[in-house]
């Protein structure tokens, strides 16, 4: 236990009190000899008051000019108080210099960062930004401090990202007026007081390369479409020719299958390019999910090879608000994959239901399943778990990529659960605002 904790008053304080009491007793004793005890006591108290006022003035003067003058020479309780204050002041100066040094180092480091950084207050006001962020967003030091960043960066996607407090995927935004850049924004909460750090990354080169790739794929797909149609037509005519040499019948049939497979790939590429080019949210047309899933199930059962059981479970008659063609593409791709990779003795279950979170479509199968290490990459273009098996079955490797992009346009998400050898479950989750009761749409 320290001295301050063990005693209410320190040793100099007790000595000062004892000195005051002793001086008063001596004044009373001396005054009693002249029958003026109270006068002597008043004189002693006045002298003490003058002493303390003088020390207080010196102490106050040093406090105001402590950075320029050394501490005065004072004894007793005043000297103790001065020593404690001086130690606190020196400690404060040390910490201030240390914090200033750290702040300067931090500013040097952030200025050298390849990424931009903006510190935002609880109301999105700009508290600080580094040089890179200032250049990319055309921010002005001191003039833009305290201003809301959404008033300076006017982009609907960026404002939506801020409104959702970073809950949605970080947006990549094109800023043509700021050097024709593409910037990736990421919001990080830094404290309980509501301060947030906005990180900016320049992804212009990646965006341009992706745009070039998309343009190339779209153009190549369009150019391949016509030749494949011609080749397919001639192969169909050749296969139906009665005088075809029997030795050529099998090669012609194989060429027809490969031609059909290439046409399917081109069609999927065109569909994926269309989804990427459209962007934004899908329309809000009412779609009868139950009827659509019934037709998709009927098509699955009409295939030459399909599982023994393909069951449809309709737990809701609600409608989905979206694009009918894109929703059909989502559901048909999932059901087609389930039927394709489920053996003849297996089972496929299709379910549609709604709850307080929104609408849900689930496709569950008892097929071959997917190893866990492949699940994160399923929605990549041309990604195949078993390339040899997928090509043999005629898969293009684009179906789940189309599902992902179409779901994003409907504000939905895809959830995949699978155990190798025991089957897979693909679930599409749509937001509540995309679900409409059938009674409302019929009015």
Q: Considering the chain, what is the average pLDDT of its residues?
A: 81
pLDDT at 330 (0 to 100): 92
Length of the chain: 443
CA–CA gap between residue 300 and residue 10 (Å, rounded): 92
pLDDT at 191 (0 to 100): 67
Residue range 253-293, pLDDT digits in tens: 888 888 887 887 787 777 777 777 666 788 889 999 999 99
pLDDT at 189 (0 to 100): 80
Distances (CA, A) of 333 to 296, 302, 336: 10, 16, 5
Question: Tokens 């998309």 correspond to what residue?
Answer: 214
The neighbour count for residue 299, using CB atoms within 10 Å, is 14
CA–CA gap between residue 130 and residue 363 (Å, rounded): 49
CA nearest neighbour of 399 among 353, 355, 324, 336: 336
pLDDT at 344 (0 to 100): 87
The neighbour count for residue 431, using CB atoms within 10 Å, is 14
More confident residue, 179 or 248: 248
Residue range 29-78, pLDDT digits in tens: 877 777 777 887 888 888 888 888 888 888 888 888 877 788 888 877 78
Q: Report pTM.
A: 0.54
pLDDT at 8 (0 to 100): 56
More confident residue, 406 or 78: 406
Q: Provide the pLDDT confidence category of residue 379 given band limits of 50, 70 and 90.
A: confident
CA–CA gap between residue 23 and residue 43 (Å, rounded): 11
pLDDT at 353 (0 to 100): 93
Residue range 215-236, pLDDT digits in tens: 777 777 777 778 888 888 888 8
As a whole number, mean pLDDT of residues 162-181 equals 74
């Amino acid at each position: 236990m320290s001295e301050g904790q063990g005693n209410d008053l320190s040793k100099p304080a007790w000595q000062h009190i004892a000195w005051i009491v002793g001086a008063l007793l001596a004044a009373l004793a001396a005054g009693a000899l002249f029958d003026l005890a109270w006068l002597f006591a008043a004189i002693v108290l006045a002298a003490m008051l003058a002493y303390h006022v003088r020390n207080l003035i010196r102490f106050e003067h040093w406090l105001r000019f402590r950075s320029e003058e050394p501490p005065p020479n004072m004894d007793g309780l005043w000297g103790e108080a001065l020593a404690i204050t001086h130690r606190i002041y020196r400690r404060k100066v040390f910490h201030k210099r240390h914090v200033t040094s750290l702040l300067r180092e931090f500013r040097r480091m952030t200025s050298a960062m390849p990424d931009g950084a903006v510190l935002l207050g609880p109301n999105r006001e700009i508290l600080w930004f580094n040089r890179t962020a200032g250049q990319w967003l055309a921010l002005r030091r001191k003039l833009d401090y305290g201003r809301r960043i959404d008033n300076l960066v006017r982009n609907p996607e960026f404002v939506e990202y801020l409104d959702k407090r970073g809950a949605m995927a970080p947006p990549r935004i094109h800023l043509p007026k700021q050097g024709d850049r593409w910037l990736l924004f990421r919001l990080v909460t830094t404290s309980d007081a509501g301060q947030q750090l906005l990180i900016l990354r320049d992804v212009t080169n990646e965006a341009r390369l992706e745009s070039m790739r998309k343009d190339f794929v779209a153009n190549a797909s369009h150019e391949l479409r016509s030749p494949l149609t011609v080749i397919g037509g001639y192969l169909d005519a050749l296969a139906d020719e009665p005088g075809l040499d029997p030795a050529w019948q099998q090669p012609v049939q194989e060429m027809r299958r490969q031609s059909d497979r290439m046409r399917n790939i081109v069609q999927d590429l065109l569909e994926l390019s269309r989804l990427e080019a459209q962007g934004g949210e899908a329309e809000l047309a009412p779609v009868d999910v139950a009827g659509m899933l019934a037709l998709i199930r009927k098509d699955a059962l009409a295939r030459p090879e399909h599982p023994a059981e393909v069951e449809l479970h309709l737990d809701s008659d609600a409608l989905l608000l979206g694009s009918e063609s894109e929703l059909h593409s989502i559901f048909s791709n999932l059901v087609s994959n389930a039927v394709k990779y489920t053996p003849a003795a297996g089972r496929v279950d299709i379910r549609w239901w709604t709850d307080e979170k929104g609408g849900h479509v689930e496709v569950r199968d008892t097929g071959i399943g997917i190893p866990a290490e492949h699940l994160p990459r399923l929605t990549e273009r041309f990604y195949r778990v078993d390339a040899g098996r997928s090509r043999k079955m005629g898969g293009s490797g684009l179906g789940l990529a189309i599902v992902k992009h179409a779901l994003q346009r409907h504000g939905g998400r895809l959830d995949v659960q699978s155990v190798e050898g025991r089957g897979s479950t693909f679930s599409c989750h749509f937001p509540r605002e995309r679900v409409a009761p059938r009674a409302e749409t019929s009015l």
